[in-house]
Amino acid sequence: MKKQVLLAAMASALLVSYPLGAKANETVRSLDRENIGIAENVKVDAPVSVKDFIQYALDELTYQHGSKEMRDELAKRWTSNEDWARDQHITKGELAKILIRALQMEDQEKSISDYLQSAIINGLLKVYSQANETVTAEEMEDIIENAKAFASKDIDNKGVKEISVEDFMKNAGESEFDLSPDGEYISYMSDWENRMNVFVKKMHEDSEPIRVTSSTDRDIALSFWKDDHILYFKDNGGDENYHIYSSNLNGQEERDLTPYPDVRVQLVSNLQGIENEILIEMNKEDPTVYDVYRLNIKTGELHHVAKNPGNIGGWLADHDGKIRIAVETDGVNSTVLYRETEEDEFKPFVQTEQSDVISPIAFSKDNQSIYALSNKGRDKLELVVFDLDANEKVLYSNPQVDVMGVIYHQAKDKLLATGYVTDKQHLIFFDKEFESLFNKLQDKLQVTESELWIMDFNEDMTKFIVNVSSDKEFGIDYYYDSTTDELTKLSELAPWIDRDLLADMHPISYTSRDGLTIHGYLTLPKNKKPENLPLIVNPHGGPWARDFWSFNPEVQLLANRGYAVLQMNFRSSTGYGKAFTDAGNKEWGLKIQDDITDGVQWAIDQGIADPDRIGIYGTSFGGYATLAGIAFTPDLYAAAVDNVGVANLFTLLETIPPYWETMRQDLYKKMGHPEDDKELLEAVSPVFHADKMKTPLFIAQGANDPRVNRAESDQMVEALQKRGVEVKYMLKENEGHGFHNEENRIEFYNAMIEFLDKHLK
């Protein structure tokens, strides 16, 4: 049984950062720091409070700057959620506990005497320290210096052995395991003829797996079970016009169930409990909108279920397979529509206003309630349930960030868990049995909450697919049978990569020039001091997306080559509430770019980045930010890599895919209107500012990209070549929005590393 998967991210990483100021004779002047909360004239022998010590330790031992909420969360973890913001004087025993936990030297709760002994043994405190002694300001500064020395004691600044681009970028092995509905079979993706194909294996037997797909031109994008068949999606050369195919379990009969040219197919419902049929949506009748069809996977027979009048952006079926919910939109405002039966007309259910989001997730089993994510009337997305009169009940909310998803058991009609992402992902459980199972697996695998994923389970929740991943673990999959309590390893992604050579991804935060807190991640090369490093700034795509704490092959490749990598969730990123997202409206190249620039300056100010060796690399919107960076801050970057990036906002808006038409007004709201905001779009389109660019540039583009048309890169290359600016151009005729074929990935990243090394080392 498939669940709706929560988005990725994970638990707190702490690291020593930058040198402390020198001590004064009578006062500790280095403590005069913004947000530390200790007065400049603190005497060296004055006792320090618990609150003051934690504030100072946070500033010196982490990269969480300018974020009260995240700092509070870290502080609570250090003190096991005790009342840490106390003004009482801190004792050596309390201080030892905080430091040991902050430095991640212990993951089990210890007694105060054990913490004290560990701190003394590791040189954090003096041998004669007593647990009940208070700590002075002078001692605090010395202790923090000791902690920083401890954290960097194993660094000889020689880096680590290089891992080849091929090892990072070739197909990583068996992944995306799925249980058959009866739990007797398992499907997964694996490499065949340099393409990811689907294989099936019978559980509890030593039989050989059977390959059930035979794609040689393109990876299979997605597969899932329907009864005793495997269904899968595949496009043509990256055009994103996905067709849905079926295969039986012996792989002898593959069939394109939607053989319509220039048509894109998406799944609406797997119709659990209804044999041989699924609900899909296609833009078959009108390329700009999706109608709903009932598809027989055995015969290919197609029935038109719901006609799109031209303004429906999404559909939801009930547990009987009937389309009962539609989301009507003009691109800015939307209305959730409801009907009692498929014979009835849709009527307004819940109305939203600008920036409101209501995303229906599922009907309850009795079809009398609707689970959804909603931020209507508030800033953050919350998990809610509506009755059929549109009365809303909030099931979970988080004051810091949006709720990111839900795990729902359809057959049992159980809401199992929800989650949110601060620095990493955290879970909130609704079902005690599921929580107990999760905790048992966490204990068995000795991983943190944020490293464990329950990916799939059968209908009676006795068989599970479990995944472990982190910033340094690509992914290990297990099969767990709760009836026998047996945990079986299925696969490890990229086992040829030595995990000991990989780098830590550290959650960071800093304050933008206009006072927003910007969160992100800093990956530092292993066995290199975080001082004066070449830095790659890596803005994410979207821009209405966000980066997460997770395994990222390209970030690990760059870190392995000695680069620090900075990723930031600039304004317009999702996950931090609608006010933060809306703060990026019509700010492409302006305040969004300032957030990126401010992150670079933050890294320079911390002493991490060498200001003469800053590079920028991004994909999609990140590619736009790359071009904007070298156009609007031409002295900041020494090298730039743009992967399928936007050069001209006018041509981007002219060439959006037809099925984005219902979003056009939203794009105008967020980016600017080509007529009403002509001056703005011209001011922030990098192609019109090629005369300012002087940074060496590498551009990569897929010829079949339906989102960022090939002309975006062509016109940028032409404008720069006319001026004699160095520009390297890699165009792939069999790719779309990014390079997905193994050989193209390897070629691109080899070229990128060579280019960056040439200009930054």
What phi and psi values does residue 283 have, to the nearest 5 degrees? -100, 45
> Encoding tokens for residue 302?
């197609």
Instruction: Report the amino acid identity of residue 96.
Output: A
What are phi and psi for residue 690, nearest 5 degrees?
-60, -25
Please count the residues of the chain.
761
Retrieve residue 561's tokens: 């080559």
Beta strands in 297-433 (DSSP E): 302-306, 312-317, 323-329, 334-338, 347-351, 358-363, 369-374, 382-387, 392-396, 403-409, 414-421, 425-429
Task: Say which residues have a Cβ less than 8 Å from residue 183's Cβ, sequence separation at least 6.
Answer: 203, 458, 459, 462, 463
**Of residues 243, 426, 506, 737, which has the active-site annotation?**
737
State the CB neighbour count (10 A cutoff) for residue 33: 15
State how far the Cα of 263 lies from the Cα of 282, in Å rounded to an integer: 7
Whether residue 49 lies in the annotated active site:
no
CA–CA gap between residue 506 and residue 520 (Å, rounded): 8
Single-letter amino acid, residue 390:
A
From the list 705, 713, 740, 759, the catalytic residue is 705
Task: In whole angstroms, give the CA distance from residue 446 to residue 496.
Answer: 22
Those residues with Cβ within 8 angstroms of residue 695's Cβ, 6 or more apart along the chain or in another chain:
630, 634, 637, 638, 639, 640
Distance (Å) of CA 748 to CA 48, 169, 483, 711, 743: 54, 10, 47, 20, 9
Report d(CA 265, CA 273) in Å as an integer.
22
Cα distances (Å, whole numbers) of residue 443 to 41, 436, 446, 452, 468:
48, 11, 5, 10, 12
Give the Cα separation of 256 and 183 in Å (integer).
Answer: 26
Give CA 83 to chain center in angstroms. 32
Q: Which residue has tokens 């970028």? A: 169
> Is 705 an annotated catalytic residue?
yes
Q: What count of Cα atoms within 13 Å lies in the side-chain half-sphere of residue 685? A: 23
d(CA 552, CA 475): 11
Of the candidates 491, 572, 620, 713, the residue annotated as catalytic is 620
Under a CB-based contact definition with an 8 Å cutoff, are residues 610 and 635 in contact? no
> How far apart, in whole angstroms, are the C-alpha atoms of residue 106 and residue 111?
12
Residue 620 known to be catalytic: yes
Return left, alpha or beta for 383; rule: phi > 0 is left, psi -120 to 50 is alpha, else beta.
Answer: beta
Nearest to 88 by CA among 50, 55, 58: 50
Q: Exposed/middle/buried for 388, CB within 10 Å: 0-12, 13-18, 19+?
A: middle
Closest by CA position to 621, among listed 745, 757, 738, 742:
738
- Contacts of residue 125, defined as CB under 8 A and 6 or more positions apart, other chains included, come to 92, 95, 96, 116, 119, 143, 146
Measured CA to CA, the distance from residue 624 to residue 618 in angstroms comes to 8
Match 């001056």 to its residue by tokens.
Answer: 679
207 exposure class (CB count in 10 Å sphere: 0-12, 13-18, 19+): exposed
Structure tokens at 115: 């913490």
Give the active site residues.
620, 705, 737
